[in-house]
Amino acid sequence: MASTPPASSPLDTPPLFAALHGARSVLLAGAGGGFDVYAALPLAIALWNRGVTVHLANLSFTPLEMLDLNVWTAPDVAVVRPETAGPEEYFPERTLARWLAAHDLPATVYAFARTGVQPLRAAYRHLAGELGIDAIVLIDGGTDILMRGDESGLGTPAEDITSLAAVAGLDVPVKLVSCLGFGIDAYHGVVHSQVLENLAALDRDGGYLGMLSIPGAGREAVLYRDAVADAHRATPMRPSIVQGQIAAATRGDFGDVQFTRRTAGSTLFVNPLMAAYFTVDLVMLAGRCLYLDRIEQTVGMRQVATRIEAFREDITFRTPRAFPH
């Protein structure tokens, strides 16, 4: 008698990949600006290896108003390719597009303008429709997107939470948030025991999809480190502190690993947890944010920052617990 195959479990297939199973067109988007889209690369490469159509996007700190009119596919979303004209000193999206082309990978990176929730949602909605997107994963370099608002420190939340609010309002079947770089936001005041507390609460509600480490010797990590090194060479005055630490973690480095003068005087704590994706359900994360309603109608990023500041003035902060280890 033939035996019945055992049911699949999260230990057989990481929940992140299980959630994306069957998706035909996946958008991986940097949530917090800068080089956040680089943190999507290991996941993108893994999905490309599986034959999934993957598109890359980023909330951009590049002065996109300098770009030619013909690169705009809709208001507030530009199509950046290796040949796109633009600033030479800082243009992470084009730097990544050029690296992708050099490695025979899909070489388009979509750049979202740094706006408030309403214009950003419209830009996402247009792009999702144009590309037939059925899954969106917001990628955060760091973990401050997981802050609900009453923690002792929020890091730099404006861009991350604007992206979260924008995508939460879209009608897309699968919406996730994945964070790479646990511990990095300590520099900006995030207490990571509160990150863990928030993940535990999401887990109780069924919204935590677990942690997925990036093996340092795997193709994903090797290519990611190469891309980060390329970005450092292309942007020598503003190399990414976040991506540099994550890349170091994927090499197995530990402790105060210095790689740029930008961190001179700071003590870094590179460690293996930085090289792991922490993934949560986007809608459930958005539902836990205590001030999301306050930024819903914003059109500019300054509005978002001002309303977060006003919210923080009205609340009592949660007392963080110290790590006992």
Task: Tell me the per-residue pLDDT of 27-57, one tens digit each, with 9 for 90 and over.
Answer: 999 999 999 999 999 999 999 999 999 999 9
User: Number of folded domains in the chain?
Assistant: 1
pLDDT at 251 over 50: yes
User: Interhelix angle for 219-234 vs 241-250, to 10°?
Assistant: 150
Tokens of 153: 């420190």
Give the three-class secondary structure for 100. Answer: helix
Confidence class of residue 16 from pLDDT cuts 50, 70 and 90?
Answer: very high
pLDDT in the model for residue 275: 98
Closest CA to 149 of 323, 324, 325, 315: 315
How much is the average pLDDT of 148-163? Answer: 96
Identify whether 135 is part of a domain. Answer: yes
Say what the pTM is: 0.95
Which residue matches tokens 């943190």? Answer: 39
Identify whether 173 is part of a domain. Answer: yes
pLDDT at 233 over 80: yes
Amino acid at 239: P
Average pLDDT over the chain, rounded to an integer: 95
Identify whether 308 is part of a domain. Answer: yes
Confidence class of residue 8 from pLDDT cuts 50, 70 and 90?
Answer: low
60: containing domain: 22-243+276-313
How much is the average pLDDT of 81-98? Answer: 97
Identify whether 264 is part of a domain. Answer: no
Q: What is the distance, to the nearest Å, from the Cα of residue 15 to the centroid of all Cα atoms in its chain?
A: 18
Identify whether 142 is part of a domain. Answer: yes
Identify whether 200 is part of a domain. Answer: yes
Contact 212, 193 (CB under 8 A): no
pLDDT in the model for residue 247: 97
Q: What is the pLDDT of residues 111-143, one digit of tens each?
A: 999 999 999 999 999 999 999 999 999 999 999
Q: List residues bridging with 109 in a β-sheet.
A: 56, 80
Helix extents (H) in 170-218? 192-204
pLDDT at 265 over 90: no
Q: Distance between CA atoms of 199 and 261, rounded to whole angstroms?
A: 33
Contact 162, 120 (CB under 8 A): yes
Identify whether 1 is part of a domain. Answer: no
Q: Distance between CA atoms of 51 and 285, rounded to whole angstroms?
A: 29
Handedness of CA 96, 92, 164, 110 (dihedral sign): negative
Q: Distance between CA atoms of 184 and 159, rounded to whole angstroms?
A: 17
Identify whether 219 is part of a domain. Answer: yes
pLDDT in the model for residue 6: 55
pLDDT in the model for residue 262: 85
Confidence class of residue 7 from pLDDT cuts 50, 70 and 90?
Answer: low
Tokens of 224: 């990611």
Residue 177 makes CB contacts below 8 A (sequence gap 6+) with: 31, 137, 138, 139, 140, 145, 146, 164, 279, 280, 281, 282, 285
